[in-house]
Structure 1
Amino acid sequence: MDLTRYVDSLQQQLRTAASAGSDEARELADRLTAPLDSAARLVLLEALSDAAGEISAEIAPGSVDIRLRAGSPEFVVDVPVASDGTSPAPAPTAPPVVDADAGATTRTTLRLPDHLKTQAETAAAQEGVSVNTWLVRAVAAALEQSTGRPAAGRPSRGGSRATGWVR
């Protein structure tokens, strides 16, 4: 995904706003547009990353990640497959249950011992997903295993139990 048109648009809007002011304001706007490029790209990447996290929470155990290639963000969508590895996993039969008061996602601080954090990072890297996505999947699987029911809004996986994640 090329962010250039979004950054250029923001710079043009700054120039347009400054054009209503004095010569000094226009000169200041011209000086600010170059450093604005980096800052705007970082803010856009953060917004895309947050969006990918929210989408991943909704489609768990699937995921959407953002990766940078040559400075440009790239969406990576991971759709889980059935345990036999031959056919896609069944689509949810009912829409996800979302508590309207709680919102779609919640930011949570999780404190892990260093050795668990390292293991989670390694497992996430092996699966090619973010640590956040890996943790969302782990929590969903643990809830399903402990309650015998899928996480809210998720379909049951049938009578057999599987551990880990299959790509």
Structure 2
Amino acid sequence: MPYVDELRRQLLVAAEAGDEDTRVIAERLTAALEPAARLTLLDTLSAAADEITRDLAPGSVEVRLRGRQTDFIVTSPDFDDVNEGGHPTSPTHQGDVAEGQGALAAQLRADAEEGGTSRITLRMPDRLKPLVEEAARAEGLSVNAWLVRAVANSLDTGRRRPESRPRQVGRGYTGWVR
């Protein structure tokens, strides 16, 4: 990070005012201080990205560290597939019922503008995670934005799919096992 290098340089310049022992101590301190300063800056950038993500939801901002380079990955909410009336411009996914999409898109748009979000922790099976990541990538969304959309679609009563097979009564067991 160039900021840490600049901090180190400034500390060494300040130490130039002292004697040789002061300069040697300053060099040792800056060498030891460098990893802590990098970590502190990364923590600060991560906290800022989290705060921006809360305001940008369902979009997101991620901070990625590659060697000494810090990158920001910004994923905007994708409303390009929704027209002014709130209806999709692209075909619906197989099995989806088209009714209710306008209300869902309008609600997602309103939530994104208001910025109100809540943080949860989601644990999913290891075999499911790559499938979710691939589905999000295929739609050009972050995993978070894809999950928000999937949950919203699932909860939107107008989009719920009818049961494809009748429930089988009397085939299950409920209770405690010792």
Query: TM-score normalized by structure 1?
Result: 0.51
8 Å Cα contact 1:66/1:74 also seen in 2 = yes
- Pick aligned residue for 1:32 from 7, 29, 40: 29
Identity of aligned residues (%): 34
Partner of 1:156: none
Residue identity opposite 2:147 in structure 1: A
SS at match of 1:61: coil
SS in 2 for 1:45: helix
Match status 1:138 vs 2:147: yes
2:114 matched to 1:96?
Answer: yes
Q: Name the amino acid aligned to 1:118.
A: D
1:30 positional shift: 0.9
Q: Does 1:65 align with 2:62?
A: yes
Q: 1:36 to 1:121 in 2, by over 3 A?
A: farther
Residue by residue over 1:98-140, the C-alpha shift from the partner in whole angstroms, topping out at 9 and shown as x without a partner, is: 6xxxxx877x6x474xxx1535743564346xxxx74576368
Residue 27 of structure 1 and its aligned partner are, at CA, apart by: 1.7
Q: Gaps spanning 5+ residues in structure 1: where?
A: 99-103, 149-158, 162-167
Q: 1:21 to 1:64 in 2, by over 3 A?
A: same
State the 1:78 CA deviation: 1.5
**Would the aligned equivalents of 1:120 and 1:134 in 2 still touch at CA under 8 Å?**
no
SS at match of 1:118: coil
Q: In structure 2, do the counterparts of structure 1 residues 84 and 76 end up closer, same or farther at CA, with 3 Å as the change threshold?
A: farther
Residues 52 and 93 of structure 1, relative CA distance in 2, 3 Å threshold: same
Of 117, 126, 129 in structure 2, the residue corresponding to residue 118 of structure 1 is 126
Deviates more, 1:65-74 or 1:54-63: 65-74
Count of aligned positions: 132
Alignment CA distance shift 1:32-1:67 (3 Å): same
TM-score of the two chains, using structure 2 as the length reference: 0.49
Match of 2:114, SS?
Answer: coil
1:42 partnered with 2:51: no
Contact 1:49 1:65 in 2 (8 A): yes
Structure 2 gaps, min length 5: 82-87, 91-104, 161-178
Letter in 2 for 1:68: L
Q: Displacement of 1:18 after TM fit? A: 4.3
Return the index of the structure with the highest Cα Rg. Answer: 2
Q: CA deviation at 1:54?
A: 2.2
Deviation at 1:61, TM superposition (A): 1.6
2-structure distance, mates of 1:19, 1:57: 45
